[in-house]
A = this chain, B = another copy of it.
């Protein structure tokens, strides 16, 4: 545990360094308002803090820089205080006030506004559809042996896929198949449908059906519907990292940008945490080696207490922790609210059947 004065100095160093990106010297610190100490005293404290591992010194005659441990301490002892930047609040209100037609549009807009407000890179994931239930399946024939299959979930999510039919199915055969499908699948969750269930189900249905082969094939084609949409990752402000001095070196940014470009899977992992509340992963605390020079601040948003997606901000460890945490906090609530309005509570009973 640090003394109050060490705490003060550490915080001052963090806050100074976050803004200037230059090692902070004792002189600079002693000039700060709240710092009523001479440079020499501060130097002594800094030497102690360095010995304790909270500060680093790039080289002997340079100022001090917070170590990852230093940031961790700073974050853990952030006094809630300080109001949130009113401009940010206004911008966020505006975004969530806008009418957005698609659920995914909300998520995408979120990633954009997050990146704009923080000037870091933002990622947003979701919404996941595992737990959504099948509401309706429809086949619309186009051409003689093709059809568009449409699957609507209880929350209004729509998936579609072109499917191939064997060409000798009579017209009422199709409608019969659709009828059977709907009767059997209404209310089944997407994840259940995707998992083993489809097989047992197909077999069962086939007993009462003539077009055995066709049905199996149809269900099989449908099964993969929506998998890729399952948890789309939106990246906002990928190029913002280029503005950070710690990433002026192409070879440093490249792996990061590559991850952002194609790392659907990786990013999903980054955002998929069970722990509720805001996560702050500093440098080495990140499992992903590509992120070990970065801080990731993330959080999951929920519907009726169930996590359906996540948001996060990626930047250098030299990050504006307070600000980003406040913003993430706000956005998480806003998303939770927005999604709950559309998907939440009424889901079980409000469908009118």
User: Residues of A with Cβ closer than 8 Å to B?
Assistant: 101-102, 135-136, 138, 140-144, 146, 148, 150, 152, 154-156, 158, 160-162, 237-239, 242, 248, 250, 253-254, 257-258, 261, 346, 350-352
Contacts and interface: CB of A to CB of B under 8 A. Distances in A.
A253 B242 contact: yes
A148 B158 contact: yes
Instruction: Please indicate which of the listed interface residues A140, A248, A254, A350 has the most CB atoms of chain B within 10 Å of its own CB.
Output: A140
19 contacts: A101-B162, A135-B142, A138-B138, A141-B352, A142-B152, A142-B154, A142-B351, A143-B346, A143-B351, A143-B352, A144-B352, A148-B156, A238-B261, A239-B254, A239-B257, A242-B250, A242-B254, A242-B257, A250-B253
B152 A140 contact: yes
A136 B143 contact: no
A261 B141 CA distance: 37
Copies in the assembly, this chain: 2
Given A143-B350, A237-B261, A238-B257, 19 more contacts: A101-B162, A102-B162, A136-B140, A138-B138, A141-B352, A142-B152, A142-B155, A142-B156, A142-B351, A148-B152, A150-B150, A156-B162, A238-B261, A239-B257, A242-B250, A242-B257, A248-B250, A250-B250, A250-B253
Contacts of A143: 346, 350-352
A194 to B, nearest CB: 15
Contacts of A156: 142, 146, 148, 162
Q: Which of A142, A254, A351 lies at the interface centre, i.e. has the most chain B CB atoms within 10 A of its CB?
A: A142
A61 to B, nearest CB: 28
A68 B352 CA distance: 68
Contacts of A351: 142-143
A159 to B, nearest CB: 9
A242 B251 CA distance: 9
A247 B253 CA distance: 13
Of the listed residues A146, A162, A237, A254, the one surrounded by the most CB atoms of chain B closer than 10 A to its CB is A162
Given A141-B352, A142-B156, A101 B242 contact: no
A238 B138 CA distance: 38
A138 B151 CA distance: 12
Contacts of A160: 150, 158, 160
A283 to B, nearest CB: 22
A73 to B, nearest CB: 32
Contacts of A242: 250, 253-254, 257
Contacts of A135: 140, 142
Nearest to A224: B101
A346 B152 CA distance: 29
Contacts of A239: 254, 257-258, 261
Output the residue of A138, A143, A154 with the most chain B CB within 10 A.
A143
A254 B142 CA distance: 46
B140 A138 contact: yes
A314 to B, nearest CB: 15
Nearest to A155: B142
A225 to B, nearest CB: 9
A141 B353 CA distance: 11
The 10 A-B pairs with the shortest beta carbon distances in the complex, nearest first, are A158-B160, A239-B257, A239-B258, A156-B162, A242-B254, A142-B156, A140-B152, A136-B140, A148-B152, A148-B156
